[in-house]
């Protein structure tokens, strides 16, 4: 079943404000909600000597009296950082993505010294990537075969600037001096002229496919591609990978690949999140990777909608078995919902508010039971209450009962006394008693001559309109003052 765990990422830092030193603890929840937002706790370091106060890294600071470790005064620290031996008169802080220090003799990163760096030409070129006139450095290690006098070229999606919470999930791939590097390791044999970074550790050139710094033996670069993880509730499709997707698998003509490992040739995908190799059923989990479903029979296993699966005996939601579920009668309700002869399940949990014995599926979004209308598994609330027998679909966007019009499960327009024949729907526009609405906003457009001329603009015989997002997240067509529909033109690209 669903296990909701609110993870906190704790960041620490020192900062100086109005001539005073502070230590900050910043808590960032991994799941952001109205009740879980980032918070800062700032503590002033009252005994800090500001003339000699030096921030070493996010954990460590120093003044003439000694160290601060995580905001607490520590008089004795084993193996003090090299930066404490720096020349204080010439010591300066540099860096945008990664802070480092330079004095007249050396370069320092946190508690480490760049022993071989040329101070005068040393600079940052990306997150944890540095260069001087001689070589490139990944963190503090010089990169074999690199040339600091030549450009460091980051591949698309690898700008070297990694925002927090994505930095640890991404790899850093770049080219220098005709060589390809991934996370500071050289990709031996990669052709810099044809190499393409695909993302999530994968890259390829004209001859080979690579996972980070290793070559995937036998992979075909001509047909190799990434498979995005489907976003619920959509079923799995072999669509093209986009940079903002999370990856599910990779594939060429002969087999699938998972985290850089070739899967057996018998391995194939069933539906989100399931796959099989003929011997086992696997559920793809964000954190636990491919998890084998114990007791699942691969010969009788079938997927049910999105995130549910069953064999001849058991039912699963993702990788969790639902012991109460009846496999023989389980069917899909869409949007993380399923039902059998006894219960309705939302996110794998029994929902006792829905009467499983009287369910009637209206569309991929709506279903109803004896007393309620449900939209994507959530009860439709309205005042007066929805009229279940009179509830009907108008199009993909609108539905109505005898007194209310609903858009995506939300009541938007009251229509007391309106006869069914007096409602007409044209895409996102709805006419009720000769009044035209776009979503829940009354508007004046001439629908017979209305046409869209660009993603943001439309015209009819009377006016030019633009999509105004101030009043609705989908945008409301608003007249563009002064524009004449007969002569209005968009500039050519």
DSSP H or E run through 44: strand 39-44
Single out the residue of 143, 160, 275, 254 nearest to residue 209, CA to CA.
Answer: 254
Quote the tokens at residue 315. 């039912």
pLDDT for position 57: 76
- Listed range (236-240, 298-302, 343-347) with the worst mean pLDDT: 236-240
Query: With 60 as the cut, is the pLDDT of residue 1 above it?
Result: no
Please, what is the average pLDDT of the chain? 84
CA 478: distance to chain centroid? 32
How large is the average pLDDT for residues 298-326? Answer: 94
Q: Provide the phi-psi class of 439: left if phi over 0, else alpha when psi is between -120 and 50, else beta.
A: left
Per-residue pLDDT of 414-470, as tens digits, reads 876 556 567 889 989 998 888 899 988 889 999 999 999 998 999 999 999 999 998
Whether omega before 384 lies within 30 degrees of 0, making that bond cis, reads yes
- Listed range (167-176, 279-288, 404-413, 465-474) with the worst mean pLDDT: 167-176
Beta strands in 233-336 (DSSP E): 247-251, 256-258, 261-262, 268-271, 274-276, 281-285, 289-292, 302-304, 308-310, 315-317, 320-321, 331-334
- Cβ neighbors of 3 (< 8 A, separation 6 or more) are none
Backbone angles phi, psi at 20, to 5 degrees: -125, 150
Bridge-based pairing of strands 344-346 and 349-350 is antiparallel
Quote the tokens at residue 374. 């449900």
- Listed range (146-160, 330-344, 375-389, 469-483) with the worst mean pLDDT: 146-160
Per-residue pLDDT of 240-260, as tens digits, reads 434 444 667 899 999 999 888
The model's pTM is 0.65
Query: With 60 as the cut, is the pLDDT of residue 92 above it?
Result: yes
Rounded to whole angstroms, how far apart are CA atoms 45 and 23? Answer: 7
pLDDT for position 128: 83
Query: With 50 as the cut, is the pLDDT of residue 31 above it?
Result: no
Instruction: Starting at the earlier edge strand, list the strands of the sheet with 153-154.
Output: 153-154, 173-176, 179-182, 185-186
Going from the C-alpha of 403 to that of each of 27, 417, 431, the distances in angstroms are: 48, 7, 15
Quote the tokens at residue 208. 């080979």
Q: Provide the phi-psi class of 260: left if phi over 0, else alpha when psi is between -120 and 50, else beta.
A: left
pLDDT bracket for residue 493 (50, 70, 90): low
Q: Is 385 helix (H, G, I), strand (E, B) or coil?
A: coil
Rounded to whole angstroms, how far apart are CA atoms 398 and 391? Answer: 11
pLDDT for position 230: 59
Rounded to whole angstroms, how far apart are CA atoms 309 and 34? Answer: 33
């Amino acid at each position: 079943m669903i296990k909701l765990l609110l993870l906190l990422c704790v960041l620490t830092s020192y900062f100086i404000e109005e001539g005073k030193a502070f230590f900050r603890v910043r808590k960032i929840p991994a799941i952001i909600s109205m009740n879980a937002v980032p918070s800062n706790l700032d503590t002033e370091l009252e005994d800090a000597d500001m003339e000699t106060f030096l921030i070493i890294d996010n954990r460590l600071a120093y003044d003439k009296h000694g160290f601060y470790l995580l905001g607490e005064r520590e008089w004795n620290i084993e193996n003090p950082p090299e930066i404490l031996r720096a020349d204080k008169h010439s010591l300066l802080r540099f860096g945008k993505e990664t802070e480092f220090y330079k004095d007249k003799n050396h370069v320092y990163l946190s508690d480490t010294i760049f022993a071989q760096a040329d101070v005068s030409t040393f600079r940052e070129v990306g997150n944890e990537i540095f260069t001087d006139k001689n070589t490139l450095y990944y963190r503090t290690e010089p990169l074999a075969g690199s040339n600091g006098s030549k450009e460091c070229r980051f591949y698309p999606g690898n700008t070297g600037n990694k925002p927090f919470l994505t930095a640890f999930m991404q790899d850093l791939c770049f080219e220098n001096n005709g060589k390809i590097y991934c996370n500071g390791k050289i990709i031996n044999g990669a052709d810099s002229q044809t190499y393409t970074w695909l993302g999530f550790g994968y890259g390829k050139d004209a001859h080979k496919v690579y996972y980070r710094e290793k070559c995937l033996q036998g992979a075909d670069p001509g047909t190799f591609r990434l498979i995005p993880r489907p976003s619920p509730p959509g079923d799995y499709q072999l669509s093209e990978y986009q940079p903002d997707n999370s990856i599910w698998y990779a594939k060429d003509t002969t087999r699938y690949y998972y985290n850089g490992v070739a899967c057996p040739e018998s391995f194939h995908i069933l539906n989100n999140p399931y796959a099989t190799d003929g011997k086992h059923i696997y559920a793809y989990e964000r954190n636990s990777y491919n998890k084998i479903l114990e007791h699942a029979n691969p010969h009788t296993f079938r997927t049910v909608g999105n995130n549910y699966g069953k064999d001849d005996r058991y039912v699963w939601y993702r990788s969790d078995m639902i012991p109460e579920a009846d496999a023989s009668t389980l069917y899909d309700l869409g949007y993380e919902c399923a039902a059998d002869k006894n219960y309705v399940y939302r996110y794998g949990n029994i929902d006792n508010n829905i009467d499983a014995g009287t369910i009637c599926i209206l569309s991929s979004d709506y279903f109803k039971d004896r007393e309620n209308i449900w939209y994507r598994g959530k009860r439709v609330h309205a005042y007066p209450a929805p009229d279940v027998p009179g509830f009907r679909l108008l199009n993909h966007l609108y539905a109505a009962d005898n007194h209310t019009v609903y858009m995506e499960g939300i009541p938007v327009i009251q229509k007391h006394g309106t006869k069914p024949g007096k409602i007409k729907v044209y895409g996102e526009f709805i006419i009720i008693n000769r009044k035209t609405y776009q979503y829940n906003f009354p508007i004046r457009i001439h629908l017979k001559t209305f046409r869209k001329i660009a993603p943001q603009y439309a015209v009819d015989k009377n006016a030019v309109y633009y999509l105004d997002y101030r009043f609705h997240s989908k945008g409301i067509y608003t007249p563009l003052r002064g524009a004449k529909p007969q002569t209005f033109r968009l500039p050519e690209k």
